[in-house]
Chains A and B, each alone.
Chain A
Amino acid sequence: MEFIANVFQLILVDRRQVVLSALSEHVVISLIAIALISAAGIPLGILISRYRKYAQPVIYVTGALYTIPVLALFGLMIPILGIGLRPTLFALFIYGLLPLVRNTYVGITGVDAAIVEAARGMGSTNRQLLFNVELPLALPVIVAGFRTIVVMTISVATIASYIGAGGLGDLIFRGINTYFLELVVAGSILVALLAIVADGCLGLLEKYLLKRVR
């Protein structure tokens, strides 16, 4: 009990300044990474649902990238991209790509063939078919993929501090390196909270979007 009290004392009072800046860095890194992943992942998923012979190779490659251990990735990238924000974003981008590309693709190709047929029969153009029929119906699956990458990015961003991009990982690594267990726990709790809160908000957004679609 005293231990937990110490942890909160640390977060709220003793190291408040450090905690706040680490938290805001963490949020910024995650937001940028999520924006990058979405900007590339959703279009890529749509693209391979149009040109299906590329679907398997693209999913295979993003899947292969997903399996590289993140520390190894940093180690490999330091000579090329150096340290700081750039290599961190690159790593997070590579990690987040698979779930979003795959879910977008699966969502669109999973739309009932009869519905697609009907839309075509009523004279939809390709564009109308995509934006008015397929994407709205695929939305729940795409949002599920999005929620996965948000939670994942927030947790993987912890390792950003390993190569100098800051974030809550700073607290965790510092704690480990200075024999300060409370600091490790404080950092971990905040990462977990951040992920839970983000996921909760997206859950609400998902409900709202689903209502709109129906």
Chain B
Amino acid sequence: MKITTILFVAVFFVTAVFFTGSAFAEEDSQVILTSKPFTENYILTEMMVQLLEHDTDLTIVNMAIEGGTTSVLHPAMVAGEIDIYPEYTGTGWLEVLRYQEVIPDPDVLFDRVSEEYLEKFDLVWLPSFGFNNTFTLAVRQEDAERLNLETYSDLAAVSEQMVFGSEPDFYEREDGYPGLVEAYGFEFRQTSQMAIALKYPAIGQGEVDVINAFSTDGLLKTHELVILEDDKNYFPSYLAAPVVRKEVLDSHPEVGESLSKLAGLISEEVMMELNYQVDEQRRDPRAVARDFLVEQGLIQ
């Protein structure tokens, strides 16, 4: 008899859980944000969460999806499981819309991407945060000064003296190493593959001389690196902006109004500084986002 009782309790418990679970899911005034799993995206999402909590009466949920690459988040947006996340124009263009041609002008690319997202997926690109986190090449500051390097073309002229280091992925990507070499005629003395986290120590210690990086990496600052200018516009631009489900903006216009306050507010230098606070100074992304919003007078 005791065991039947236990079984009944178990079944009851399970049913109860399912009912409460579905009750939670139905809530209409709930807005779910998420981020792609890296520092910069964590910070941007925290900013949006805290701003929306301050400006609206909606229930704001920050859902951590640590496997949340674009290939996971985009379908979840389309399915209405999440409402808002920060995305980059180049990623939307190449990975989601699957175009291969490169549009050099960042603003033109932004317009094309946002038009197609609205038309195909009912998703809205709000105005960009104001920075472009593209792939770039970085060298040590002392080398840049000694060899007078400002652009990729300058680097190409002295590339036979340099060792290039990158993660394996970059050698394979469509917009990665092979195309880069073709566009600029680099002839590096040697190329070297390593894990992403090891790239910065490697160039800091002189094992390699050039690495690929993201233009807003906080660690560029730690290792006294400078980034060079892509003078032939090889890499697509990656303007960062909030992507929001149109349905959410229609039923809660205050969401769009609130998030638009972030438009153009974050330059590449500012974003790099914020990333640096998390990656190097080990601050909580939540606190970094909060300090920024307070500093800008957007929250108290």
Contacts and interface: CB of A to CB of B under 8 A. Distances in A.
Interface of A: 14-15, 18, 32, 35-36, 38-39, 42-43, 74, 78-79, 82-86, 131, 135, 161-164, 166, 169-170, 173-174, 177-180, 182
A59 B185 CA distance: 61
Task: State the majority secondary structure of interface residues on A.
Answer: helix
B130 interface: no
Interface stretch (B7-15, B202-210, B234-242): B7-15
B121 interface: no
A43 B11 CA distance: 11
Task: State the majority secondary structure of interface residues on B.
Answer: helix
Contacts of A166: 63-64
B263 interface: no
A135 B5 CA distance: 14
Interface string B4-26: 10010011011001000100000
B229 to A, nearest CB: 27
10 residue pairs, one from A and one from B, having the closest CB atoms = A173-B66, A162-B67, A164-B65, A39-B10, A161-B66, A170-B64, A164-B63, A178-B39, A177-B37, A82-B81
B14 A36 contact: yes
A110 B219 CA distance: 62
Contacts of A85: 21
Chain B, interface size: which category?
Answer: 35 or more
B66 A180 contact: no
B76 interface: yes
A179 B72 CA distance: 23
Interface stretch (B97-105, B152-160, B277-285): B277-285
A177 B38 contact: yes
B37 A173 contact: yes
A126 to B, nearest CB: 14
A39 B67 contact: no
Centre residue among B10, B66, B79 by max chain A CB count within 10 A: B66
A15 B15 CA distance: 34
5 contacts: A35-B10, A38-B10, A162-B66, A170-B64, A179-B279
Contacts of A178: 38-39, 42, 278-279, 282, 285
A42 B7 contact: yes
A163 B10 contact: no
Contacts of B264: none
Contacts of A15: 284
A56 to B, nearest CB: 25
Contact of A131 (B1, B13, B17, B67): B1
B21 A164 contact: no
B294 interface: no
Contacts of A180: 282
Nearest to B11: A39
B34 A177 contact: no
B75 A179 contact: no
Contacts of B1: 131
Contacts of B284: 14-15, 18
B57 to A, nearest CB: 22
Given A131-B3, A131-B4, A135-B3, A161 B282 contact: no
